């Protein structure tokens, strides 16, 4: 039975790639599509349960009147069958209605909504450009994704369980009291109006305070995660005290905003108790007066008293639910600051996959200044024939990484085109483009998973023999066999820690190289691929790398010029422009910038000036 209701909704149903709306209600509606037909049942069963509860209270008053009107010795004979049927209703039908309502609310709604919200938010963020992630804290983004799920789910749950149920209950109570006498329904109606006005006045302020509190909470998480993710730098530079101050400043802000939020809770409690006192006096006082004048019965006074006491208890809960709804609205608005951001890099509608032929790359009058007007690349035109191996050289900031980032479409060029086999990279799908390019960067971070999972990331369908062969070619198999993590997993099953922190830089680099070797893409980009390796390992792997380059179009960036001297061709960039182009010997003989850089080499590294 549980599984039936849990599986009424699939939270991972594809929902398209539209950017989530930036307003709370519009965003909530995007998540209700899967649940719409079942929300009708949630509402219907909620009404039934609320009517049953108010009806029971009214019926209790009716029983009191029966006791008052019937002698004890004949009470069961006169009313036994009626009371037996009422008992069956309470024991059987009432629990069925309540549990059916909870099945829809808890198994169908609560059991699926959180994961749907988080999944869609995470999926949208994965489609963001590299620049998006470079401009924010990973901790803040993950915190917003995680907070959104409970906020949306709890808001929806409480709207049915709290607001809808309570509204039905209050209306039913007014109807019941109105049937007794309108003089009892009138004070309840006036209380309801005052209650709604006061709650809304407080709730709007709570929503604003909640958004600021949520933002402060995300900042604390971001700064804490930033310190943990860079703990080596913190330790290396003895900056523990500075990091404590950095996080403490965010925590102080969080504390102030939380305290402001709690002040509103205290105001809420005071106002609620004043209103509840007015409700009790407003209903019970007239009830007693009407009874003393013979206008209503003892049972009706008992029913009015029970309804009032019940509403007195519910009112605090209703107000808390309302405040929570507005609090969640603040959390959702804060989360949407990241989640509702449109993708900067998108596939064109109906974009085809890259149809790779021989692998020729052409940069056609490409300029990209990162929106600043200067820096980056400036009118670069460069053609790399299929199968050619090109070394890319230049001082820091010359534009080497910009060229590669634009080729991979981590960013879109501000001017010009980049073509692969005559196809504009902006017109094909990003996945097919990057599937055709294997890249080893100088900062080869790994996933916090097993060595096997990290290598197979290059080609998930590869078998064990192919994976091990790639590790051997990358000179990684031997050290992998000696690995063991704290949970006792060894070899290829050992986990490498966040970003591969449990491995040395050289070990991480070799696993990254093995991953690209396994991918075996027709276009290869090497960005300081051997910079983290010691001389012995580098020498052993250089031949393997050159072997891997055979038949591929290669772009290799290096500061250590000796590692690219054997390339077919070397392109020299300076201030975003191609200033020299040719084989190593010709460029050295030319006596230009490359020759100067070659002469300045010390220990095989490229000097900055």
Residue segments in the chain with a per-residue pLDDT below the cut of 70: 17, 232, 529-541, 602-609
Q: Could you tell me the CA-to-CA distances from 540 to 326, 440, 469, 476 in Å, in that order?
A: 63, 17, 16, 11
The single-letter DSSP state of residue 490 is: B
CA distance 202 to 575: 58
Q: Could you tell me the CA-to-CA distances from 361 to 384, 385, 428 in Å, in that order?
A: 5, 6, 14
Identify the pLDDT of residue 531. Answer: 63
The single-letter DSSP state of residue 50 is: H
- What is the tens place of the pLDDT at every residue in 274-319? 887 887 787 878 888 888 888 878 877 777 777 777 777 777 777 7
Identify the pLDDT of residue 532. Answer: 55
Say if residues 187 and 283 touch (Cβ distance below 8 Å): yes
CA 171 remoteness from chain centre: 40
- For residue 516 the two structure tokens come to 């690209």
Say if residues 570 and 584 touch (Cβ distance below 8 Å): yes
Provide the terminal-to-terminal Cα distance of the chain, rounded to the nearest Å.
Answer: 73
What are the residue ranges of helices labelled H in 159-297? 165-180, 182-229, 231-236, 240-292
CA distance 254 to 257: 5
CA distance 30 to 115: 14
Beta strands in 353-459 (DSSP E): 361-368, 377-384, 389-393, 415-420, 423-424, 437-440
- pTM higher than the cut 0.95: no
- For residue 357 the two structure tokens come to 């032929």
- Return the SS3 of 582: strand
Identify the pLDDT of residue 357. Answer: 84
* CATH 1.20.1560.10 residue window(s) in the chain: 20-339
Identify the pLDDT of residue 360. Answer: 93
Question: What stretch of H or E contains 571?
Answer: strand 569-574
Class of domain 20-339: mainly alpha
Instruction: Measure the CA angle with vertex 117, ends 115 and 123; round to 5°.
Output: 95
CA distance 314 to 477: 66
Question: What stretch of H or E contains 31?
Answer: helix 24-32
CA distance 377 to 415: 10
CA distance 202 to 556: 62
Unique residue bearing structure tokens 């078998």: 463
Question: What stretch of H or E contains 116?
Answer: helix 111-126
CA distance 352 to 427: 7
Q: What are phi and psi of 416, to 5 degrees?
A: 90, -175
- What is the tens place of the pLDDT at every residue in 256-276? 988 888 888 787 778 877 887
What are the residue ranges of helices labelled H in 446-575? 451-456, 464-473, 477-481, 505-519, 535-549
Say if residues 282 and 187 touch (Cβ distance below 8 Å): yes
SS (H, E, C) 291-311: HHCCCCCHHHHHHHHHHHHHH
What are the residue ranges of helices labelled H in 443-504? 451-456, 464-473, 477-481
* CATH 3.40.50.300 residue window(s) in the chain: 354-436+521-609, 446-518
Q: What is the CATH number of domain 446-518?
A: 3.40.50.300
- For residue 135 the two structure tokens come to 């401009």
CATH number of 354-436+521-609, picked from 3.30.9.40, 3.40.50.10610, 3.40.50.300, 2.60.120.330 = 3.40.50.300
Residue among 149, 103, 577, 84 at smallest CA distance from 376: 577
Identify the pLDDT of residue 464. Answer: 93
Residue among 500, 487, 407 at smallest CA distance from 451: 500
Identify the pLDDT of residue 287. Answer: 82
Q: Which residues contact 87 (CB under 8 A, 6 or more apart)?
A: none
Residue among 151, 161, 266 at smallest CA distance from 211: 151
Question: What stretch of H or E contains 3?
Answer: helix 2-6
Unique residue bearing structure tokens 């001082």: 395
Say if residues 125 and 23 touch (Cβ distance below 8 Å): no
């Amino acid at each position: 039975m549980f599984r039936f209701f849990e599986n009424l909704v699939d939270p991972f149903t594809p929902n398209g790639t539209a950017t989530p709306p930036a307003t709370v209600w519009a965003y909530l509606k995007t998540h209700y599509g899967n649940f719409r037909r079942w929300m009708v049942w949630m509402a219907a069963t909620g009404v039934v349960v609320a009517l049953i509860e108010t009806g029971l209270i009214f019926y209790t008053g009716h029983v009191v009147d029966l006791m008052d009107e019937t002698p004890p010795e004949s009470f069961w004979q006169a009313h036994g069958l009626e009371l037996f049927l009422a008992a069956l209703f309470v024991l059987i039908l009432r629990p069925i209605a309540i549990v059916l309502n909870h099945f829809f609310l808890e198994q169908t709604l609560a059991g699926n909504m959180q994961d749907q919200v988080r999944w869609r938010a995470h999926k949208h963020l994965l489609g963001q450009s590299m620049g998006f992630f470079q401009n924010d804290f990973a901790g803040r983004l993950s915190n917003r994704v995680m907070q959104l799920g409970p906020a949306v789910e709890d808001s929806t749950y409480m709207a049915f369980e709290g607001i809808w149920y309570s509204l039905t209950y209050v209306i039913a109570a007014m109807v019941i009291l109105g049937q007794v006498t309108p003089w009892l329904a009138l004070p309840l109606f006036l209380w309801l109006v005052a209650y709604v006005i006061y709650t809304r006045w407080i709730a709007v302020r709570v929503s604003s305070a909640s958004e600021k509190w949520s933002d402060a909470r995300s900042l604390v998480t971001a700064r804490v995660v930033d310190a943990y993710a860079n703990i080596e730098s913190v330790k290396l530079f003895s900056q523990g005290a500075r990091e404590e101050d950095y996080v403490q400043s965010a925590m102080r802000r969080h504390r102030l905003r939380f305290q402001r939020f709690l002040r509103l809770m205290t105001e809420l409690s005071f106002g609620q108790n004043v209103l509840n006192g007015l409700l009790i006096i407003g209903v019970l006082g007239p009830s007693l007066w009407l009874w003393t004048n013979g206008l209503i019965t003892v049972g009706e006074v008992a029913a009015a008293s029970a309804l009032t006491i019940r509403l007195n208890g519910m009112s605090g809960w209703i107000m808390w639910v309302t405040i929570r709804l507005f609090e969640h609205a603040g959390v959702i608005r804060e989360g949407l600051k990241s989640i509702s951001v449109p993708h900067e890099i998108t596939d064109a509608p109906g974009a085809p996959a890259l149809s790779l032929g021989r692998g020729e790359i052409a940069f056609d009058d490409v300029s990209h200044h990162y929106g600043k007007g200067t820096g980056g690349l400036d009118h670069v035109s460069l053609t790399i024939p299929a199968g050619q191996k090109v070394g890319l050289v230049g001082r820091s900031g010359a534009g080497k990484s910009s060229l590669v980032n634009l080729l991979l479409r981590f960013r879109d060029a501000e001017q010009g085109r980049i073509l692969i086999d005559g196809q504009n990279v902006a017109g094909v799908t990003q996945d097919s483009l990057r599937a055709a390019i294997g890249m080893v960067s100088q900062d080869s971070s790994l996933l916090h998973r097993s060595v096997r999972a990290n290598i197979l990331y290059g080609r998930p369908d590869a078998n064990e023999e192919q994976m091990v062969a790639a590790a051997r070619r990358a000179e990684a198999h031997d050290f992998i066999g000696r690995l063991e993590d704290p949970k006792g997993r060894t070899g290829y099953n050992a986990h490498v820690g966040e970003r591969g922190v449990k491995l040395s830089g050289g070990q991480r680099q070799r696993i990254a190289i093995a991953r690209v070797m396994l991918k075996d893409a027709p276009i290869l980009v090497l960005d300081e691929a051997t910079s983290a390796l010691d001389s012995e390992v580098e020498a052993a792997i250089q031949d393997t790398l050159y072997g891997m380059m055979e038949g591929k179009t290669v772009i290799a960036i290096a500061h250590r010029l000796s590692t690219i001297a054997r390339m077919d061709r070397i392109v020299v960039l300076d201030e975003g422009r191609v200033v020299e182009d040719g084989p190593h010997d010709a460029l050295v003989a030319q006596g230009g910038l490359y020759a100067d850089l070659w002469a300045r080499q010390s220990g095989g590294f490229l000097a900055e000036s």
